[in-house]
Structure 1
Amino acid sequence: MLGRAMIRRLVALLLVLAVAAALLLVLWPQVLDLQRTWPTAQLVSFRGAAAVVAAGAAVVLFVVALVARPVRSLASSVAVLLLVFGAVSAGFVGARGLGRDDFVEAQPTDVTVLAWNTLGGAPGADRIAALAVEEGAEVVSLPETDAETAAAVAAAMEAAGLPMSVLTVAYDDVASSKPTSLLISTALGQYAVAVDEAGVAVETTPLMPSVVATPVSGTGPTIVAAHPQAPTRDDVPAWRDGLTALADACRTGDVIMAGDFNATVDHMAGLGRAGGALGRCRDAAVSTANGGLGTWPADVAPLLGTPIDHVMATRQWYTTGFKVVTDLDDAGSDHRPVVAQLSSTGA
């Protein structure tokens, strides 16, 4: 028969193995295709914060190991696992980029894209427009922004010499839904959203709307203001369907996509093709060493937040500048704006 000491060692070993397995799944849920399931989707979102928490927990366990001899081996083993987890998590953040906001000198054919989930227009139309004008944005993606606010932003931009057309998609029959608006410079031509006989957008995302705008002339990029449903426990299926719909929108053609994706590049694993993060669309932040900076929530440090607001584009474009705007954290929205400068590849 096994002695008590042997049983304790076996139990401790099983606990260490269980912790190791759990940390591996949080670190890389893609290994079992769990990146878009609850609760791993939530746990993998905050890699920077996870690294800090893991390091703190490891310190506590090392102290426990020093003062509590009976659990010394178990506590120190778990502490080592946490340190490894924290180091690798921090490594992911660093590899995706800790922030580089230098822009190549803009060319006449470049397109500057601004995306900002405004939390119902909380910053106010004037402040939104001021940022768009300051950045010289030709495309402005505004999740959680109604048509009235978007029109006011467009009017302020036109007064500053940047005339914009406005497209808004709203789900009036979904109580929890919030509109998404898209402003496009008139210099890029006329754009339209495909609708059915009832006037409902044909291409969009479930529960929360996305705007898919195509050039009326047939020449120019399809422009998408993205806002799939957040992955709350009950809405994970709708969230997955939304990401799939956005990936499908980026399968072919010339596409620029921007907005609040409610997803990091980890969640998008398996939805990309031909080198893209989502469909054939490549992430502007990752390609410019900015992919580790969190855009939500705005009241925590960027390295501790989650990068769920993106600008993406197909191979017809490459990113010549990107930044997460951090000086508007007190503007009223819980998201940080992101700005990307896209240059044509000629493809």
Structure 2
Amino acid sequence: MLAAGVLLLAAAAVVVLLAPDRLGLADRTPVAQLVALRGLVACLLVGGAVLLVGAVAGWRQVAGRAGVRRPGWRLPLALAGVLVLGAAAQAAVVVGRGVDGSGAGPAADGDLVVLSFNTFGVVEADDLTALVEQQDADLVVLAETSASTARAVARALTDAGRPTTALAADSESTRVEGVALLVRDSLGGYTQTSAGLPATELGTFAAVRAGGASTAYPARSDVPSDNAYTAYPGRGDVHSDNAYTAHPRRGDVPSDGAHTAPTAYPVDAHAEQTPASPGDTAYPVDTRAERTPASPDDTAYPVDTPAEHTPASPGDTAYPVDTPAEHTPASPGDTAYPVDTGSARTTPPAPDVVVAAHTRAPSAESSMPDWRAHAVGIAEVCRSTPGAIVAGDLNATLDHPGLDDLGPCVDAAAEVGAAGLGTWPADVPRVLAAPIDHVLVDGRAWRVTAFGVLDRVGASDHRPVVAHLARR
């Protein structure tokens, strides 16, 4: 009876880890944590079987020398067999989801390249710039990345001939950085909002294309839709540190090739909104700050000082005026509008909505309710938003609630047979890691042409992922 009970218990554990969703246990501790690491669980099960057999063999030798009764093989071998079968089943799930490690390769002409990477707040801007250039990425979601780092990457990309805008939202946690989104300017202007998104408190936000057809995430009522370069982290008072432009759109920019601007025109919900020039209501002015030149010789990059902001006069280059129009690439010879020379590809189609996400991790029992709500909420955003792209560290796999049934939304890795490769932790082989970093897309609007889990970058504990998308 004891032997039968042990075998039954082992078999039950194997079944739970194999199909926890069918038993309603995929979101329960510790199953939720273990099922995310199927490859590692398979190795542990095989290791357990080997140790069990080895221990019994050693015990039998010692018992024989001591002249005592040796243990039998029936139960240990049966138990080892159950563990090995469990390992094989886990491996079958991983292989079935795809372990194609060939990578995404070069993007096809017209493909939209989406890169997602949790930098853990430790990857340098130079390394990120090199990664974006290497992958020729058009959209880059950076979880646990400071606004200053994102701004530095956007500036470096712009200087390298890839005009880029950085949007960012702060985390409400003091332990992790927020989320940033780098948008290649050839895609057009985007407005940032957190309306309708799960309150992850880690910086999750959506970017809505100016003039896009989607109304799922409209801009705040006090911000015109064509203000494509102001970041709104979802709070009433938006700091200047939350508004980032990689380069200005103004004709008074010096012709020496300097295309980076450390500040933009943030919107303050508690301040009076006045136009930058007569008839210009697209770029509201913060009346609490006066913009003065950064240095006597620098008239293109104004900085805030604690004084009243005044609008520009026609000949005053210290206070450049934005025109209410969507940012477009430069015409030849126009240094105010830098030409995107960083790619030979045709400009890809621009998504109407991009969600840059970082959700809670199931790291403790107290975090489980938030984790469940966030995973389900992010998945619902993808399901219900036509043409949406959702990317980031979702801290969930295809086994977990929300991602286990995406409806019209699809997981890019699963679409091309690479969903068995994990991203965390980065110091173990991909087949042993948890695939918790995702690119989710509306399968009615986008076709996934390639996906890859990339090599480790810097000291981050996550690997980056990249997806190539074609418009249907």
Provide TM-score, normalisation by structure 1: 0.87
Residues of 2 paired with 1:48 and 1:205: CA distance?
31
> Residues 167 and 211 of structure 1 are in contact (CA less than 8 Å); yes or no, is this contact kept in structure 2?
no
Equivalent residue in structure 2 for 1:238, among 349, 361, 370: 370
How big is each residue's C-alpha offset from its partner over 1:66-115, in whole Å with a ceiling of 9 and x where there is no partner? 5545353221121111010000111111111112325475122x210111
> Residues 322 and 338 of structure 1 are in contact (CA less than 8 Å); yes or no, is this contact kept in structure 2?
yes
- Give how far 1:65 is off: 4.8
- 2:236 maps to none
> Residues 100 and 322 of structure 1 are in contact (CA less than 8 Å); yes or no, is this contact kept in structure 2?
no
How big is each residue's C-alpha offset from its partner over 1:106-148, in whole Å with a ceiling of 9 and x where there is no partner? 122x21011110111x120111011101211110000001111
Residues of 2 paired with 1:256 and 1:102: CA distance?
18
Cα distance, 1:143–1:33 mapped onto 2, change above 3 Å: same
- 1:214 maps to 208
Give runs of aligned pairs for residues 1-347 of structure 1, distance below 5 A.
Answer: 10-66=1-57, 68=60, 69-98=70-99, 99-103=101-105, 106-108=108-110, 110-120=111-121, 122-172=122-172, 174-194=173-193, 203-219=197-213, 220-233=351-364, 234-252=366-384, 253-268=386-401, 272-274=405-407, 280-315=408-443, 316-326=445-455, 328-329=456-457, 331-345=458-472
Identify the range of structure 1 (137-146 vs 239-248) with the bigger mean alpha-carbon deviation. Answer: 239-248
The runs of at least 4 aligned residues of structure 1 exceeding 6 Å deviation read none
Higher helix share: 1
Residues of 1 paired with 2:56 and 2:136: CA distance?
57
Identify the range of structure 1 (214-223 vs 309-318) with the bigger mean alpha-carbon deviation. Answer: 214-223
> Residues 205 and 245 of structure 1 are in contact (CA less than 8 Å); yes or no, is this contact kept in structure 2?
no
State the identity as a percent.
37
- Helix, strand or coil at the partner of 1:250: helix
What amino acid sits opposite 1:44 in the alignment? V
Residues of 2 paired with 1:305 and 1:25: CA distance?
20
- Give how far 1:268 is off: 4.0
For the pair shown, the structure with the greater C-alpha radius of gyration is: 2
Residues of 1 paired with 2:395 and 2:382: CA distance?
17
- Helix, strand or coil at the partner of 2:460: coil
- Helix, strand or coil at the partner of 1:116: strand
- Helix, strand or coil at the partner of 2:211: coil
- Give how far 1:216 is off: 2.1
What amino acid sits opposite 2:108 in the alignment? A
- Give how far 1:270 is off: 6.6
Residues of 1 paired with 2:448 and 2:29: CA distance?
33
Residues of 1 paired with 2:153 and 2:107: CA distance?
26
- Helix, strand or coil at the partner of 1:341: strand
> Residues 114 and 140 of structure 1 are in contact (CA less than 8 Å); yes or no, is this contact kept in structure 2?
yes
- Give how far 1:177 is off: 4.5
Cα distance, 1:262–1:103 mapped onto 2, change above 3 Å: same
- Give how far 1:160 is off: 1.6
- Give how far 1:207 is off: 3.4
Residue-pair matches, total:
321
- Give how far 1:153 is off: 0.7
What amino acid sits opposite 1:232 in the alignment? S
Cα distance, 1:270–1:106 mapped onto 2, change above 3 Å: closer
Identify the range of structure 1 (291-300 vs 263-272) with the bigger mean alpha-carbon deviation. Answer: 263-272
Structure 2, unaligned stretches of length 5 or more?
A: 61-69, 214-350
What amino acid sits opposite 1:114 in the alignment? L
- Give how far 1:272 is off: 2.2
Residues of 1 paired with 2:42 and 2:12: CA distance?
17
Identify the range of structure 1 (126-135 vs 158-167) with the bigger mean alpha-carbon deviation. Answer: 158-167
Residues of 2 paired with 1:309 and 1:75: CA distance?
39
